[in-house]
Each structure stands twice: as C-alpha cells, then as structure tokens.
Structure 1
C-alpha cells in the first residue's frame, strides 16, 4: 500500500468514527457499545494495511535491477570548428556539431574501443564527402545540406556503431569570408564594365557601319530622328555631309560642297582669309571638316561640348582602323594642358589659335 492509500484509510476511519459517535449519542446507545466501537475503529485499518502488504508481495526484479544497475554511458560528443576542405583550395569550412551514437557490437569478448572517436570519424567522413564538392561562397546553403545528410543514424566503416549529428553549424574563417566578399564585388564590377564596353562597341559599330557609312545613310537616319520632318533634313544636308566625311576621313563630295553651312558672319572675313592662307600649306583634314560641322551646329569656340563630340567621332574612326585620324581629332580638340605661372589651367585654345577655321 502506498503512502497515499494509507493516508486515505486513516482519514476515512476517523470520519467513520465521528459519524458513529454522533449516531450513538443521538440514539443513546448502551455503555457496552462504546468499547466495541473503539475496538472496531482500531482493528479495521490494521487489517486493511495487512491485507495490502500480503497482496503487494516482494519488490519487483526489474526495479531491483534499476537500483543496482551501473549508470548509463553518455553517448554524445561535441566537436567545434573542425576544418573540412571545400571545392576551392585553401578555403576550408569550419564545422561544429553534437555527435550521437549507439554501439552495434555489444559482446563482452569484443575489442576495447573508444566509441566517441569512431562516431566522430564516421560523421566527419560523411560531412567531408559533401563539403569537398561545394563552393565556400555558399556556406549557409551547405550548412542546411549537412544538417539533412547527418541527421540519419548510419553505421561506421567497421560496423561497430551507428552515428549521427545534431546542431550542425558551418562557417568560414573571417579572413576567407572577407576575401570572398571582395572577389564577389570585383566580379560584379567586371560584369558591369563588360556590359558598358559591349554597349559602347555596339553603339560605335552602329554609327560607323550604319549611320555614318555614307551621306545617304546619315540622311535616312536623320530623317527618322526628326519624325519625318523633310524640311529640316534638307536644311541639314550639308551638316550631315561634313559629319559623314569626318567620320570616314574623306573629303566632302563635290556635289555636296555647296550645301556646307557657312560660319558666323562676324567671323566670315577673318576665317576665310586664314583658310585661304592655310590652303597653300596643306589640304583640309578630317579635323577641319569636323570644325565646319560644329560651327554649323552652333557650337562656337570654347563650347565644352566640342571636345565631347570630337571624342565620339574619334571612337567611330577607331572602329574603322583609322587611328591616326582619330588621334588628330583628339589633339585638335583636346590639346595637352599647360599651366600658367599662378598654377591655374588656361582655357582650351580656339580654332583660330590652332591655325584652322571652318570653310567659308
């Protein structure tokens, strides 16, 4: 009988005694009945305790074995920051986990062994088979893959135990992670630069091989850009002829020279005089034709857009393997910078200062 049962029996006995006492007082029982009642109240619990003891018998065998059995071996081991190889040389994963196992060979005559060492070896072999095929840049993804791979109990190579791993974490050395972040940034910048270069090359090829291939192609392109405004396109024929000739390093065709735009009236006389004098020294170059085109477009001397336009035309010429002409344009519109005695950069020289002017 348990302690709870004993307490309940005593409580019920006292309660019954009180009830019988109240009943005897109200019914005016004879005096001999009271000793009998007291004897019954004492005898009944004693008999109940005795019967319960006889029914319970001796202590169970399995409970006795539990009391005398040796303490159970703790079958787990924690590993921390164990280096495992990755797909990239010199970039190791760092693995931490709790390894659990249970033995398969429990015979008494078996060899003595360290089950923790065998379990750690078995789990690390399984983990290494995964990590050596993965890139270190995906450490968080590999960690979840390892959690699934090591979550099953599997036997070791000798078949002496089965092992698994819990609480698996996978990291990299701090310096390795910094290097990988820098490499990723460089790759992204390189991809952006290559896209920009491809775009610029495509644009130059489009301008050189299609738009500025000849005056006719330039006229069709200009007509499409101006929403079929024929009058504007006709008015710009001379400009397009000059620009096409500059892009291809050729002279303006004779039939189109009368359409070339005239320079500003206030500079016409002086520019004509300078060009006539220069014509005795050398023939007009591609830079001269580009100067004419820029004057016609309304880009006077000192306009910061002139070097930018010259640079774009030079890039088109380079796609046509006309590097010497392109270099001449850049020298004409981007002369080497010199500095005044006070340390300030002087303004870029005008076409007059370089000795050339647009045709009259």
Structure 2
C-alpha cells in the first residue's frame, strides 16, 4: 500500500528517474527493519505456551445416574442415590482400549459412595448426603487406571415407607424411655416407703415429724395412727409398748362403751386390714372415699415386695373389691309389689 501511494505521488509530481530505485530499496528495507525490532522487544515464545497450544484438548464427559440403591448400616434399609458423574480419560500404559468409560466412571463413584453409606445409619440421610458431596467432589482414578471420576449434584434420600417406619420406631423408643423412667421412679418410691419410712414406728415418726414442719404436738397425737400404718405395711402386730396408744383412740373408746352395754363378745385377733381401716377412719377417710382404695393399693404393693402375699390380697379384697354386675343390669324384685316386679 505504501509503494502504491508513493508511485501515484511520483507520477503526479513527475519525480526524476533516480528517485524510483531509491524508493524501491526503502520499501524493502524499512518493513524488514521494523519486524526485526518488534521481534526483539517481544522475545521468544515460551516452550510451555507452545506446548499448550499444540497439546490435544482434554476429553471430559459426563453421565447421570438416578435412584441407585446403596446399603446402610441397618439391614433392609437402603439409601436412594442420584448424581451426575464426570470423568476424563488417562493415557493407558497398556494397549487395551477403554470400551465403556461411562461404566468405569459410574462403578468408581458408586464404590466410593457405598464405602460411606454402609457405615451410616439410615435415619440421617440428609447428613450423609452432604458427606458424600464432599467425598465425591474431587477426581479419583478408577482401579484400572484408565480414567479419573467424580460426582456432582449428589442426592441421597430414603424411601418414604422406610422413613415412616423409622419415625414410628423413634416414637416407640421415646415412649419406652419415658415408661422406664416412670417405672424406676415408682420402684424407688415404694422402696423408700417400705425400707425407710415405714421400716418401723420410729422411722415413721421421724418422717411424719419432718412432713409437719417439726410440729411435735401433732406428731405425738398421731403416734397411734403411725403405729397402725407401720404394722399394716410390714404385716406385723403392733408392739406392746404402743398398745395403750392405740386403745386410747376416740373410735376405740366409743366402740368399747357401746360393747359394754351388751354381753362381752369373744376376743378376736385384729388383722392388718382392721388396723389399716382404723388408720383410714382416724385420718378422716370415710367409707366410699376413693383415697382408701388408692392408699390400700399402694400399701399392698409394698407388702407384696415383702413376700406377704396373703395379707396383700386381703387388703385388696377389703378396700378395693372387684365390681359385680347383675344380669341385664336389673334391680332385685321387690317382694312387696303385687305384680312381683
């Protein structure tokens, strides 16, 4: 282009003939000198850059695996695995070609995922999913050495039916734990009452004194009741030193005065149920009060632990008898009625 411009200018201006050879030399020398100077400033191309330009591009492909069952730490509970598997081929030292690189890549990823899931419990699938995302996030060679593989977009779930079963099992375990704690509490309470509080009359007096804020007068007034309760709980007779206290109860005095009007009945040995009934009467728990049956049930449980089964059964029959029903829930016929109904 420069030579063409100079030729046009030379013809229009009628340059002399000696200028044309000079112009031709300048058109050859000036571009050559310019290219040489610019090449020195730029320097030679690095070898590594030339290798990158001439190296063949790395072939990297991918495939998607969906809903693959992976075992968990529990039998018959499997995770459901889905992911995008990526891989690229390596230069094989042998001469055998890789026939199915996708199969090798998927197998490598599944083996790595299975090594993790088979040691994890199925109830924490979301946590295991994040763990798998980290484990499968880098390229790792397959056992044959033909390629390296990794996984992206990892998804790990549990079948809906298995998740419902796990939820029910969790509820049962929680209920069982609560029941065991309640049972241990009841056992501890019965053991405390039977082996500590009601072990003897002295222990019961100390316990009652502490319960009544150290009111000595009230505790002394209740000595007879405590003696009866202790005797009933241990299925033993009231000690002789406390017999006078029991005989001085108001109910006993009234009964004695009533019996003195008639013939003296034959002496009859009082049972544990009789002593407990006197204790309930003194406490104000009249006949028909639900508290009598409740306390009798608790005391009979304590006596059962002492292997006094007959006494415990006697208390249950006395204070908590089984309910009886008449046929068709009809009333007894009144003999005074004319029609017998």
One fold, TM greater than 0.5? yes
Out of 76, 100, 120, the residue aligned to residue 90 of structure 1 is: 76
Contact 2:60 2:86 in 1 (8 A): no
Residue of structure 2 equivalent to 1:294:
280
Out of 59, 62, 65, the residue aligned to residue 76 of structure 1 is: 62
Aligned residues: CA RMSD: 3.0
C-alpha displacement of 1:171: 1.2
Alignment of 1:9-24 (within 5 A): none
What secondary structure sits across from 1:170 in the alignment? strand
Residue of structure 2 equivalent to 1:150:
136
Distance in 1 (alpha carbons) for counterparts of 2:112 and 2:210:
67
Q: Give runs of ≥4 in structure 1 deviating > 4 Å.
A: 70-74, 106-110, 264-274, 276-280
C-alpha displacement of 1:272: 9.4
**Structure 1 residues not aligned, in runs of 5+:** 1-54, 56-69, 346-360
Residue of structure 1 equivalent to 2:45:
none
The verdict on how the C-alpha distance between 1:249 and 1:264 changes in structure 2, with shifts beyond 3 A counting, is: closer
**Cα shift readout 1:266-296 (whole Å, capped 9, x = no counterpart):** 878779999x86854xx32211111011001
Contact 1:204 1:319 in 2 (8 A): no
Distance in 1 (alpha carbons) for counterparts of 2:140 and 2:266:
93
Contact 1:104 1:161 in 2 (8 A): yes
2:153 is the counterpart of 1:172: no
Aligned residue-pair number: 275
Distance in 2 (alpha carbons) for counterparts of 1:185 and 1:200:
23
Alignment of 1:25-174 (within 5 A): 75-105=61-91, 110-174=96-160
Of 253-262 and 143-152, deviating more is 253-262
Distance in 1 (alpha carbons) for counterparts of 2:103 and 2:265:
98
Alignment of 1:193-204 (within 5 A): 193-204=179-190
Q: TM-score, normalised to structure 2's length? A: 0.73
Distance in 1 (alpha carbons) for counterparts of 2:211 and 2:330:
42
Contact 2:82 2:155 in 1 (8 A): yes
**Cα shift readout 1:287-322 (whole Å, capped 9, x = no counterpart):** 111101100110000011110010111121122222
Out of 241, 244, 250, the residue aligned to residue 262 of structure 1 is: 250
What secondary structure sits across from 1:263 in the alignment? helix
Distance in 2 (alpha carbons) for counterparts of 1:272 and 1:171:
87
